[in-house]
Amino acid sequence: DENYTYNTLALGKTCDGIGVCAKGLVECSKVSKVAICSTDPGGSNPGATPEICDNLDNDCDGKTDDGMLYNGLPRGSVCNGIGACGLGTVECNLTTNKAVCSSNPDGTNSNSIGEQCDGKDNDCDGATDESIDVATNTCNKLGVCATVLKATCKQGVWACVYEGSVYQKVETWCDNLDNDCNGVTDDKFVDKGKSCDGPDPDKCANGKLICAPDKASVMCSKEDPLSTIELCDGKDNDCDGKTDEGFDKIGQPCDGPDSDKCINGKWACSQDGKTQVCDNEFPANIKEICDGKDNDCDGKTDEGFDVGAACDGPDADKCKFGKIQCTKSGQAVCSTETKVNQKEICNDLDDDCDGVTDEGFFAKGQKCDSAADVDACKTGTFICKSGAMVCFGDYECAVGTTCQSTSGPKNPEYCACGSGVCSADLGDTCAGGKCTCNGGAVCGPTQMCIAGTGCKTP
């Protein structure tokens, strides 16, 4: 048998069997009398098994998956899957080892989906629209249709039953609902939601058009804010086309809350907008100065400065022989006095205007003894006479005689005449306690003669 070979292999050599048949040895077939591999069919140790669909040559006949058909079609052929699964390719299902169409549920490229209500066998099980999950219904879920009372698949179409109390096939109500389930609420009422002005004093559109109770129209909602009053803020708060009406002084001159009365400010709006105030006054608090003008605008000129009033200048006396007048710098000063440095003399007057009369003449009023009489008795009194202090009344006139003057005829002295007083003019006499004046008048007690005319009370 040395001339018999199997695939060029001599008898006894190791060989590969056909298909799934394992390695064996080249030997002579007792049936066919030819050289074969011992694991092939007809060999002494055959490894062949019945053919199944697994992409292998199980029966070792040199053909793979022979006899494994899908609807009469061999592996690799174009096939039509079950139901809606469509076209595929015949292939082996390695789990069941059966020939299948690849687009079927048991294929490698399955087009099977969950069953739907469409008149098709979507899950490719050979039945149409069976055991559909009601939750997958395609009923309209917009608007009031969100509540589906019942959904049934009939002849590939969902039959839907909605809550009927508010559903409308054609929406006519204004009720804030999408009654016709088209995704638009109250679609007939196109003005709904627009701004509007309700029945309040202002003209501001602070409300919104909403559905009226009759469901057939719209109305203006309660406004927020309910009513807007006009404020002083440069805005048209009440929406009447006017700004800051009622605050008519804005921008006009005014006098603010300062010490003067000058109109140096302007009316402006208060911070809270509720009123108008005089603001930005400049200059403010103007003080009155002495300049002949009404600086603080109160209708008076140089008040507080006593312009023209008598005043005492910077001299030694206190006499007001000057007048208050204004300087160029606005100060009030005492003008140059017409009389200055008045000195006090003994004349029973306050010559230096200090409120004290005849100060410096300390002996005035004290008892004295005249040098004109012969005694040393202080029966006289120091008095003022012609600006000097003299001793008066130190002697009596002789009855029926002429009063004598201590200073001579031209400077008569007073002398006592009983309880009366004579002026001692030449020709005056003293008799019976009365003075007979040179003019003939008789002066009684406490009176004195006036030279050549009559009597007077000293």
User: How many Å apart are CA 220 and CA 192, to the nearest integer?
Assistant: 9
pTM, entire model: 0.38
Q: Are 26 and 10 in contact (CB under 8 A)?
A: yes
**Strands (DSSP E) found in 125-248:** 148-154, 157-162, 195-196, 207-211, 218-220
For 85, phi and psi rounded to 5 degrees? -70, -20
Which residues have C-beta within 8 Å of that of residue 328, sequence separation ≥ 6?
291
178: three-class secondary structure by DSSP? coil
What single string gives the DSSP state of each residue in 332-348?
Answer: EEEPPPSS-SPPP-BSS
User: How many Å apart are CA 59 and CA 76, to the nearest integer?
Assistant: 20
Q: Quick one: pLDDT at residue 455?
A: 72
Secondary structure element (H or E) that encloses residue 434, with its range:
strand 434-436
Q: Quick one: pLDDT at residue 449?
A: 67
Q: Which of 420, 418, 422 minimizes the C-alpha distance to 445?
A: 420
Tell me 419's DSSP state.
T
Q: Which of 369, 421, 410, 419 minimizes the C-alpha distance to 390?
A: 369
User: How many Å apart are CA 33 and CA 141, to the nearest integer?
Assistant: 81
Q: Would you give per-residue pLDDT tens digits along the chain (458 residues)?
A: 667 888 888 888 999 999 999 898 989 988 888 999 999 998 999 999 999 999 999 999 999 999 999 999 999 999 999 999 999 999 999 999 999 999 999 999 999 998 899 999 999 999 998 888 888 888 888 888 877 678 889 888 988 877 677 888 899 999 999 998 899 999 999 999 999 998 888 888 989 999 999 999 999 998 877 678 889 999 998 899 999 998 999 999 999 989 999 999 999 999 999 999 998 889 999 999 999 999 999 999 999 999 999 999 888 889 999 999 999 999 999 988 888 889 989 998 988 899 999 898 988 989 887 665 555 667 778 888 878 888 776 554 444 455 544 443 333 445 555 555 565 555 666 655 566 666 667 776 666 666 656 777 76
Q: Quick one: pLDDT at residue 411?
A: 37
Which residues have C-beta within 8 Å of that of residue 69, sequence separation ≥ 6?
90, 99
User: How many Å apart are CA 188 and CA 218, to the nearest integer?
Assistant: 11
Secondary structure element (H or E) that encloses residue 174, with its range:
none
User: How many Å apart are CA 147 and CA 164, to the nearest integer?
Assistant: 10
